[in-house]
Amino acid sequence: GQQLNQSPQSMFIQEGEDVSMNCTSSSIFNTWLWYKQDPGEGPVLLIALYKAGELTSNGRLTAQFGITRKDSFLNISASIPSDVGIYFCAGRRVDTGTASKLTFGTGTRLQVTL
């Protein structure tokens, strides 16, 4: 199935640094979701976006729904060791009609060093 292009694929940053990752597609989406997955666990929802241009924060996390509806980004400010994990974007494409299934990004693996 189709996947969203997510970049970067992996990041190694120092504690306290800010992180930015994005997700792009050739298709138009009407919903963007950002998830974090720890090893051996299921993904946990971080932020949900529903409108083009929408900017939403959740603590140190900020995400935006791109104005073209084909992209989204996630920023993490002042990273801490527990931010380590894999971050996935997921979206619901406009052309899925009434189907509610999600398309997932390829993931960004974040490592935080002390």
Where does this chain bind other proteins (CB under 8 A)? 1, 3, 31, 33, 35, 40-45, 48, 50, 88, 90, 92, 99-102, 104-107
Inter-residue contact 78 to 60 (CB < 8 Å): yes
Q: Least distance (Å) from other proteins to the CB of residue 101?
A: 6
Spatial separation of the C-alpha atoms in residues 69 and 54, rounded to whole Å: 10
Q: What is the DSSP-derived secondary structure letter of residue 105?
A: B
Q: Least distance (Å) from other proteins to the CB of residue 6?
A: 8
* For other proteins, the closer CB: 4 or 76: 4
* For other proteins, the closer CB: 11 or 102: 102
